[in-house]
Amino acid sequence: DTGVSQNPRHKITKRGQNVTFRCDPISEHNRLYWYRQTLGQGPEFLTYFQNEAQLEKSRLLSDRFSAERPKGSFSTLEIQRTEQGDSAMYLCASSLAGELEAFFGQGTRLTVV
């Protein structure tokens, strides 16, 4: 499968714990995006990378959230001290620079209990 891959698909964690998600983009894509989607809503932009550079972060991305893309390939999204409000589907997408179409992975469903 050459699409965007996200792991894990599901994560249940206790409030206050840290969690980390991984995204592997389509191999030739140099742009990578993170979005968050809650039930009944469309995805909301969190942050994006071009190669290893993080070019923009949304105001939604609190200090407890951090994203990295160290070698310009896969990316990780870490949430520290999780809260119940962090429960959502976390979506990763990738695209080629200069092209607008972004292709999404299957997402990681986070449940904070």
Partner 1 sequence: EDQVTQSPEALRLQEGESSSLNCSYTVSGLRGLFWYRQDPGKGPEFLFTLYSAGEEKEKERLKATLTKKESFLHITAPKPEDSATYLCAVQAHGGSQGNLIFGKGTKLSVKP
- Please provide the DSSP assignment of 91-107 as one string: EEEEE-TT----EE---
Q: Is the dihedral of CA 67, 8, 109, 97 positive or negative?
A: positive
CB-wise, 58 or 87, nearer to partner 1? 58
Residues that bind partner 1 (CB under 8 A): 4, 6, 31, 33, 35, 40-45, 47-48, 55-56, 58, 91, 93, 100-107, 109
The C-alpha angle 83, 10, 53, rounded to 5 degrees, equals: 75
Cβ-based nearer residue to partner 1, 12 or 16: 12
Minimum distance from CB of 13 to partner 1 (Å)?
A: 19
Amino acid at 67: A
**Nearest-approach distance from CB 20 to partner 1, in angstroms:** 19
Nearer to partner 1, 54 or 80 (CB): 54
Question: Which is nearer to partner 1, 65 or 105 (by Cβ)?
Answer: 105
44-67 b/e (C-beta count within 10 Å ≥ 16 → b): eebbbbeeeeeeeeeeebeeebbb
